[in-house]
Amino acid sequence: QVQLVESGGGVVQPGGSLRLSCAASGFTLSNHGMNWVRQAPGKGLEWVTYLRSDGSDQHYTDSVKGRFTISRDNSQNTLYLQMNSLRPEDTAVYYCARDWGFAFWGQGTLVTVSS
């Protein structure tokens, strides 16, 4: 069955970097568009970025443009989110989710940006 497992979260200082991973199983990652969605503590859901299935197109919410990069490794069937120049307001649980329909979500990984 479809499974998404995020990892890579942790505590990082403002201005630091972190790379999140989303390991996919039960399907071929390169056949599907993929998203990252985040949720700040006690807050609602915020879409962060999308990668088209053929890898030709990426889109980002304005607050992360120029700082975050979505990518994938087809050989590892894994999606990534490279996060640079992190800010306290980036503190959140980060979820990966499949397709524009968002039928499948991972369990999330917590990123805390704090000095």
Stretch that binds other proteins, among 7-15, 72-80, 81-89, 93-101 (CB under 8 A): 93-101
Q: Figure out which of the listed residues 54, 66, 75, 101 binds other proteins, where binding follows CB under 8 A.
A: 101
> What burial letters (b/e) apply to 61-79, b meaning 16+ CB within 10 Å?
eeebeeebbbebeeeebbb
In the complex, the smallest distance separating the C-beta of residue 101 from other proteins, rounded to whole angstroms, is 6
Structure tokens given for 58: 């990426």
The count of chain residues that interact with other proteins, using the rule CB under 8 A, is 17
Measured from the CB atom, the residue of 19 and 43 that comes closer to other proteins is 43
Per rule CB under 8 A, is residue 59 in the interface with other proteins? yes
Separation of alpha carbons 28 and 62, rounded Å = 29
Site for other proteins in 5-44 (CB under 8 A): 35, 37, 44
Q: Name the helix (H) or strand (E) containing 35.
A: strand 34-39
